[in-house]
C-alpha cells in the first residue's frame, strides 16, 4: 500500500483520503502535512539498519534542538562496559539527589545510538538525572544483547540506591526493551524499579495487532512494521531466531503481576497503537497499575517533534508520573 500527501494536508492512504483533523494544534496539522522523511515509495526497500549513517545527522540535530530548549549537562560514560550518557539537570535538589531514571532510545532495535531526545527534556523537566543507555544494536548484536546491557546498567544503579529510587523508560524499540527488562528483572529475582514508561511500544513481539496493517506510514520514522518472517524486518533482525513467544521477549505471555506502575503513551496515527493498548490491557488484567494516554492524530513517538504543543503535553504527563513515583508517592 502506498501513500501520497496533497497540498491541503490530506494523506491518501492506498487511494483513500484521510484528512488531518482540526482537533490538534496548528503546529501538529502542519507537521502531519509534510512527508517527514521524504519517503520515496517507488524506491526499493532497504534494511533499516543500513540507514545508520543517513539517520545519524537527524538524531544529532534532535539532540542539539533538545539541549537548546532544555539545558542540561551531558557526560559520556561507561557503566559495566556499556556506553551511556549521563544527562543531568543544571540544578539538583536534595529531594531528587540519589534518584535516577534509565532511558532506552528508539530506533527499531537497529539504529539510534547516541540519541538523547528522550533523555534531555526529561532530565531538565524532572530535575532528575537520566542515564541514557547506548545498548548494542541488531543485527550485529541480537536479543538478548540489548536487554543484557539494560540489566547491567540497572544492576549498577542498585549498588548505590534502592530500587524505589529508580525509574526506567523508553520509546519505540526502547519501550519494548523496557518491558523486556522488567521481565528479566523478575527472572533474576531483583527488586523492581519504582516505575516504568513504555511509550509507542508494547509487550508482545509475536503480534503487533491491528494498526500496522492499517497504517503504512509509521509516523516519524516513516517505515513499515514488517512481519517477523520478512527479510527486512528489524524485529526479525533483533530476534535472530529467538522465540518471540518467550516471556522474556514478549512479557505479555508471562507473569507480570509484580511489575511496577507503568505509564503508556501512543497516538491514533501510531502503527504501534494496537501493541501499546494491548500491553496496557494485559498489565491491567495482571493487576498492575497502568495508565494509558492516546493522542489524537499523533504519529509514532510524536514527542520527538519538540516544537509541538502535543509534545509539551506528553512530556508533562511523563514528568508528573516520574516525579510522583520517585519523589512524591514513595515518600509519603
Q: Which are the contacts of 69, defined by CB distance < 8 A and separation ≥ 6?
A: 121, 306
Residue 188 placed within a domain: yes
Q: Does residue 271 form part of some domain?
A: yes
Going by pLDDT thresholds of 50, 70 and 90, the confidence category of residue 34 is confident
Q: Within a domain: residue 12?
A: no
Tell me: the pLDDT tens digits for 282-327?
Answer: 999 999 999 999 999 999 999 999 999 999 999 999 999 999 999 9
pLDDT, tens digit, for every residue of 272-282? 999 999 999 99
State the residue range of the domain holding 116.
55-331
Look at residue 253 and tell me if it is in a domain: yes
Greater confidence, 328 or 267? 267
* 54's grid cell: 543517513
Give pLDDT tens digits for 65-84: 999 999 999 999 999 999 99
The answer as to whether 14 is a domain residue is no
Closest alpha carbon to 179 in 297, 286, 66, 324 = 286
Report the pLDDT value the prediction gives residue 218, as an integer from 0 to 100: 38
Average pLDDT (141-166) is 98
Q: Taking 90 as the threshold, does the pLDDT of residue 93 lie above it?
A: yes
Q: Is residue 11 one of the residues assigned to a domain?
A: no
Rounded Cα distance, 286 and 126, in Å: 29
DSSP H or E segment with residue 77: strand 72-79
Domain tally, the chain:
1
The whole-model pTM stands at 0.91
Q: What is the DSSP letter of 83?
A: E
Look up the CATH number of the domain holding residue 63: 3.40.50.1820
Residue 10 domain flag: no
pLDDT band at residue 11 using 50, 70 and 90 as cut-offs: low
Nearest to 260 by CA among 188, 178, 149: 178
CA 324, 178, 159 angle in degrees (round to 5)?
A: 70
Distance CA 124, CA 160 (A): 22
Amino acid at each position: 500500500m502506498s501513500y501520497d500527501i496533497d497540498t491541503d494536508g490530506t494523506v491518501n492512504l492506498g487511494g483513500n483520503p484521510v484528512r488531518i483533523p482540526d482537533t490538534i494544534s496548528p503546529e501538529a496539522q502542519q507537521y502531519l502535512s509534510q512527508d517527514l522523511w521524504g519517503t520515496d515509495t517507488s524506491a526499493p526497500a532497504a534494511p533499516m539498519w543500513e540507514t545508520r549513517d543517513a539517520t545519524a545527522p537527524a538524531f544529532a540535530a534532535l539532540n542539539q534542538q533538545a539541549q537548546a530548549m532544555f539545558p542540561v549537562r551531558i557526560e559520556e560514560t561507561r557503566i559495566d562496559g556499556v556506553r551511556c550518557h549521563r544527562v543531568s539537570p543544571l540544578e539538583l535538589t536534595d529531594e531528587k539527589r540519589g534518584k535516577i531514571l534509565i532511558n532506552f532510545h528508539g530506533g527499531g532495535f537497529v539504529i539510534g545510538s547516541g540519541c538523547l531526545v528522550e533523555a534531555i527534556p526529561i532530565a531538565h523537566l524532572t530535575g532528575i538525572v537520566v542515564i541514557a543507555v547506548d545498548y548494542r544494536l541488531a543485527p550485529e548484536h541480537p536479543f538478548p544483547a540489548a536487554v543484557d546491557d539494560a540489566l547491567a546498567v540497572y544492576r549498577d544503579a542498585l549498588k548505590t540506591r534502592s530500587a524505589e529510587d529508580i525509574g526506567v523508560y523508553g520509546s519505540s524499540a526502547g519501550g519494548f526493551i523496557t518491558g523486556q527488562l522488567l521481565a528479566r528483572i523478575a527472572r533474576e529475582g531483583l527488586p523492581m524499579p519504582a516505575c516504568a514508561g513504555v511509550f509507542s511500544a508494547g509487550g508482545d513481539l509475536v503480534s503487533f495487532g491491528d494498526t500496522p496493517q492499517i497504517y503504512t506510514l509509521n509516523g516519524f520514522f516513516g517505515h513499515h512494521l514488517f512481519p517477523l518472517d520478512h527479510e527486512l524486518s528489524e524485529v526479525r533482525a533483533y530476534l535472530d531466531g529467538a522465540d518471540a513467544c518467550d516471556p522474556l521477549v514478549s512479557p505479555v505471555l508471562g507473569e507480570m503481576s509484580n511489575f511496577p506502575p507503568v505509564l503508556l503513551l501512543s497516538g491514533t496515527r501510531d502503527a504501534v497503537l494496537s501493541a501499546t493498548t494491548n500491553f496496557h490491557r494485559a498489565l491491567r488484567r495482571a493487576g498492575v497499575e497502568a495508565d494509558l494516554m492516546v493522542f489524537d492524530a499523533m504519529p509514532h513517538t510524536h514527542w520527538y517533534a519538540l516544537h509541538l504543543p502535543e509534545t509539551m503535553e506528553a512530556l508533562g504527563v511523563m514528568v508528573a508520573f516520574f516525579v510522583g513515583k520517585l519523589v512524591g508517592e514513595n515518600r509519603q
